[in-house]
Amino acid sequence: MLSWFTKNEVNEEIYSQDKNVKCQIILDSGRISYAVYKNEKLVIKPSSLGFLIYGEKPLGENLKLIRSQRKKHQEIVELPWGENKYIDNNYVESAYYFAEKKYPNRIFTLRVRVFNNAVAFRYEIPPQPKFSQITIKDELTEFNIPLNTVAWKIPAYQPDRYEYNYEKSTVYDIKKSVHTPLTLKTPNGVYVAIHEAALYNYGAMTLKLNEKNILKSDITPLSDNTKAHIQLPFQTPWRLIMLADSAIELTTNQVMYVLNDPPAQDFSWVKTLKFIGIWWAMYVGEWTWAPGDRHGATTEHAKEYIDAAVRLGVSGVLIEGWNDGWEGDWLDNGINNKFTVATPDFDLEEVARYAKIRDIEIVGHHETVGFIDNYEKQIEQAYNYYAAKNVHYIKSGYASSKMLINGRREYHHSQFGVNHYQRTIELAAKKHICLDIHEPIKGTGIERTWPNLLTREGARGQEYEGGALSPSHACYLPYTRLLAGGMDYTSGIFDIENSVKRLATTLARQLAYFVTIYSGMQMAADRPFIYEKRFPDVFRFIADVPTSFSKTIPLAGEVGEYYIVARQDRDSNDWYIGGITDEFSRRINLHLDFLSEGTYEADIYSDSDEAHYRDNPFGILITKKRVERTNTLDLYIAPGGGFAIKLKKL
């Protein structure tokens, strides 16, 4: 029914509170589009919106505006752990209620939020007569950005999920789907990252050029070739466009978190964790996951690692390969994994008892190898089994090209996968278990609602060392993958010249990772004897560095080249600084003006003048100095190197 406030044409501008970001909403000839400006520079040209739905007319045509509503929101959000304790949630929101002018007269809402550093919007579809259960054929959201925009991309739909090296190209080259966050630099110099927030019950958004050569959402399909089966009411994840004037400023963007709901329950029991683990010994071939002469997960080894954790001053021990099912090539045999049955040489009860006496947290392990039916059958008992033994942390894994469920093969980042991971997170929350998910779906800020999801992998980590990682990789992460949240990079490997896994790093750089790559669960990934026997004075930094910060200040960097960041400890006035570079050395003049008044004692771990990731990785200088906020530090970073600094307030 037409009413007097119905509009057939709209051309509205929504400005951010500081007026630097503008989103334009256009309704013309029954179709809606949006455009984005930063400092009045056009970033995203008018881009269409809408859906194709099976058995229905496309949604997004013949529209009229029934009503719109605008509001201003100002809030400071507190996060229980992470890179910052407080983040701003300041935006101007417009909600547009659209209806089709013709039969079937469906309605939906487009909700738009304009932040000082981002634009976000989502579709909200209420239930309506004969329109309640729908199957999405395609989401038509476009991001019409110039084709000569620089793009730093990793491919989607590949067997190794998100574990690829970043490649610098242009939007013109995005002929095949790429993952988000997709980081871009427009010809007029604006840094942009396209991503999504609050991904629930829907396929993850990838991006590729459509037939009109416009970048468009490509929702990860299910095995039945549809994009998502949904029950109305439904709201899509937020489509998020982060904006900045420099690469380093882009890394401060935390809008993704405030687009998520507040915590779903009481999470006061959640604690971030630093841990070592029965792990790298398997990668360098000393131990095995499977039982046998060199089995890693024995009761004896676990107790040794618990003792080492106490001596090293870390709070947790991960144990991989303790359960039945790792025999043979475990990548093929995941169907056999039994998550409540230990191998004969491993006594979880005894290990847990010992850990409790020594005040060490056990990090349990569930490698599903993507056999989801096998896992889902056992998951409830498996979580109960751990919870009963005081195990409150689980590292889970999905090392397979796709997930297997009832004979179907589904992408990890499909609607099916998204829902599976969510089930594990919610079940873990019920049992007071924290998760570190490997081979996960990408982060979309749901850690705000589910803070027991302490970290995830979701990018190439140090397990790819030994040939498949170059020093530039970790210099891409802060500008790309880490915009999606923390990552378990498995930092702190000191045995750099190991003949099985030779790392492309210097020693000081391994410390820098504990600051440059945030993770709510931070692994010191090497074997403890390497730390204790060879580098006890270097390990000091890892023992000191916190896993939760009150404030993060990115200081300098460029995508894929270098990155320097300072973070203040959550529980003290101490600061930590980390810096890394690609294969080129750098001299840095570090201003300490972010510190407060007073004197600090600086412990500096930096590359020596002769250090080099290729032929002199152990060249490290450890120095102590007193500094104040008026001082600058002159630092050298070797090729493939890095530095780490602890600033203790005196």
- Identify the helix (H) or strand (E) that includes residue 221: none
Establish if 367 lies at the interface with ligand NOJ (CB under 6 A): yes
Query: Which residue number, 216 or 438, has a Cβ lying nearer to Ca ion?
Result: 438
Residue 423: other Cβ atoms inside 10 A: 12
Of all residues in the shown chain, the one whose CB is closest to Ca ion is: 438
* Smallest separation (angstroms) from ligand NOJ to the CB of 322: 12
Q: Which residues pair with 216 in a beta bridge?
A: 142, 208
Query: Which residue number, 395 or 438, has a Cβ lying nearer to Ca ion?
Result: 438
Q: Locate the DSSP E strands across 592-641.
A: 600-607, 620-627, 632-637
Establish if 316 lies at the interface with ligand NOJ (CB under 6 A): no
Residue 364: other Cβ atoms inside 10 A: 26
| Residue 115 touches which of Ca ion, ligand NOJ, none (Cβ within 5-8 Å per kind) | none
Under 8 Å between Cβ of 531 and 494:
yes
Give residues 378-397 in contact with ligand NOJ (rule: CB under 6 A).
Answer: 397
| Residue 555 touches which of Ca ion, ligand NOJ, none (Cβ within 5-8 Å per kind) | none
Omega before 528 cis (within 30°)?
no
Instruction: Identify the CA nearest to 172 among candidates 191, 160, 161, 187.
Output: 187
Give residues 279-338 in contact with Ca ion (rule: CB under 5 A).
Answer: none
Query: Which residue number, 162 or 605, has a Cβ lying nearer to Ca ion?
Result: 162
Query: Which residue number, 277 or 451, has a Cβ lying nearer to ligand NOJ?
Result: 277
- Using CB under 5 A as the criterion, what x/- string covers residues 457-496 for binding Ca ion? ----------------------------------------
Q: Which residues pair with 273 in a beta bridge?
A: 521
| Residue 397 touches which of Ca ion, ligand NOJ, none (Cβ within 5-8 Å per kind) | ligand NOJ
* Smallest separation (angstroms) from ligand NOJ to the CB of 438: 4
Is residue 463 annotated as a catalytic residue, yes or no?
A: yes
Establish if 456 lies at the interface with ligand NOJ (CB under 6 A): no
Instruction: Identify the CA nearest to 415 among candidates 199, 248, 251.
Output: 199
SS3 call for 303:
helix
Establish if 526 lies at the interface with ligand NOJ (CB under 6 A): no
Under 8 Å between Cβ of 510 and 580:
no
| Residue 320 touches which of Ca ion, ligand NOJ, none (Cβ within 5-8 Å per kind) | ligand NOJ
SS3 call for 447:
helix
Q: Which residues pair with 562 in a beta bridge?
A: 558, 581
Instruction: Identify the CA nearest to 331 among candidates 289, 286, 362.
Output: 289
* Smallest separation (angstroms) from ligand NOJ to the CB of 232: 38
* Smallest separation (angstroms) from Ca ion to the CB of 61: 43
Q: How many angstroms separate the Cα of 155 from the Cα of each of 167, 181, 415?
A: 9, 12, 19
Under 8 Å between Cβ of 332 and 384:
no
* Smallest separation (angstroms) from ligand NOJ to the CB of 333: 12
| Residue 66 touches which of Ca ion, ligand NOJ, none (Cβ within 5-8 Å per kind) | none
Listing DSSP states for 17-34 in one string gives TTSSEEEEEEEETTEEEE
| Residue 367 touches which of ligand NOJ, Ca ion, none (Cβ within 5-8 Å per kind) | ligand NOJ
Under 8 Å between Cβ of 565 and 515:
yes
Count of residues engaged in binding Ca ion, rule: CB under 5 A: 1
Question: b/e per residue, 318-343, with b = 16+ CB within 10 A?
Answer: bbbbbbbbbeeebeeebeebebeebb
Match 């406030």 to its residue by tokens. Answer: 5
* Smallest separation (angstroms) from Ca ion to the CB of 399: 6
* Smallest separation (angstroms) from ligand NOJ to the CB of 331: 9
Establish if 457 lies at the interface with ligand NOJ (CB under 6 A): yes
Query: Which residue number, 288 or 506, has a Cβ lying nearer to ligand NOJ?
Result: 288
Give residues 467-496 in contact with ligand NOJ (rule: CB under 6 A).
Answer: none
* Smallest separation (angstroms) from ligand NOJ to the CB of 363: 11
The Cα–Cα gap between 480 and 607 comes to: 26
The Cα–Cα gap between 647 and 650 comes to: 9
Q: How many residues does the chain have?
A: 650
Among 139, 361, 463, 495, interactor with ligand NOJ by CB under 6 A: 463
- Identify the helix (H) or strand (E) that includes residue 41: strand 41-48
Count of residues engaged in binding ligand NOJ, rule: CB under 6 A: 8
Query: Which residue number, 196 or 463, has a Cβ lying nearer to ligand NOJ?
Result: 463
Residues 6+ apart with CB under 8 A from 391: 348, 352, 361, 362, 363, 364, 433
* Smallest separation (angstroms) from ligand NOJ to the CB of 459: 10
Query: Which residue number, 160 or 615, has a Cβ lying nearer to ligand NOJ?
Result: 160
Establish if 284 lies at the interface with ligand NOJ (CB under 6 A): no
Match 């634009």 to its residue by tokens. Answer: 119
The Cα–Cα gap between 441 and 456 comes to: 9
| Residue 218 touches which of ligand NOJ, Ca ion, none (Cβ within 5-8 Å per kind) | none
The Cα–Cα gap between 618 and 635 comes to: 17
Dihedral pair phi/psi, residue 621, rounded to 5°: -120, 130
Query: Which residue number, 279 or 339, has a Cβ lying nearer to ligand NOJ?
Result: 279
- Using CB under 5 A as the criterion, what x/- string covers residues 416-445 for binding Ca ion? ----------------------x-------
Query: Which residue number, 320 or 495, has a Cβ lying nearer to ligand NOJ?
Result: 320
* Smallest separation (angstroms) from ligand NOJ to the CB of 577: 28
The Cα–Cα gap between 471 and 558 comes to: 14
Catalytic hit among 376, 463, 497, 628? 463
Give residues 432-451 in contact with ligand NOJ (rule: CB under 6 A).
Answer: 438
Establish if 320 lies at the interface with ligand NOJ (CB under 6 A): yes
Instruction: Identify the CA nearest to 492 among candidates 294, 644, 304, 612.
Output: 644
Give residues 253-282 in contact with ligand NOJ (rule: CB under 6 A).
Answer: 279
Query: Which residue number, 53 or 523, has a Cβ lying nearer to ligand NOJ?
Result: 523
Report CA Rg, the chain: 25
Among 399, 543, 555, 556, interactor with ligand NOJ by CB under 6 A: 399
Under 8 Å between Cβ of 599 and 627:
yes
Judged by the rule CB under 6 A, the positions of this chain that interact with ligand NOJ are: 279, 320, 367, 397, 399, 438, 457, 463
Catalytic positions: 463
Judged by the rule CB under 5 A, the positions of this chain that interact with Ca ion are: 438
